[in-house]
Amino acid sequence: MAFVVGEDCIKCKHTDCVEVCPVDCFYEGPNFLVIHPDECIDCALCEPECPIDAIYSEDELPADQENFRELNAELAEVWPNITEKKMPCQTTRIGKESPTN
């Protein structure tokens, strides 16, 4: 099992979450982050760090965000790794696209 970044992250990207991940399994796209499910050790440290509760345990993912399970797995293979927090002003104004664009 792994943790999954859901759709609310598309509007945020404060990246508080990446600072606490002991295995650096966050990956950064143009408008949100994803977690690599094979690298996540299910420690739950990132979940309380997200100010808008966009991170879910896989088994608690809302039904209308089931597609994010697959998206996290697929996009973590192609997006670059992110391990340090970024300032929100660098990232928050590009978040209106669909996650697959």
Residues 6+ apart with CB under 8 A from 51: 12, 14, 16
Q: Are 15 and 81 in contact (CB under 8 A)?
A: no
Taking only Cα atoms into account, the Rg of the chain, rounded to an integer number of angstroms, comes to 12
9 binds ligand SF4 (CB under 6 A): yes
Query: Per-residue x/- mask for ligand SF4, residues 64 to 83, rule CB under 6 A?
Result: --------------------
Least gap, CB of 63 to ligand SF4 (angstroms): 20
The rounded distance, in Å, linking the Cα atoms of 96 and 93 is 8
Q: Using the rule CB under 6 A, which residue among 34, 40, 71, 76 binds ligand SF4?
A: 40
Contacts with ligand SF4, residue ranges (CB under 6 A): 3, 5, 9, 12-17, 20-21, 23, 25, 33, 35, 40-46, 50, 52, 54-55
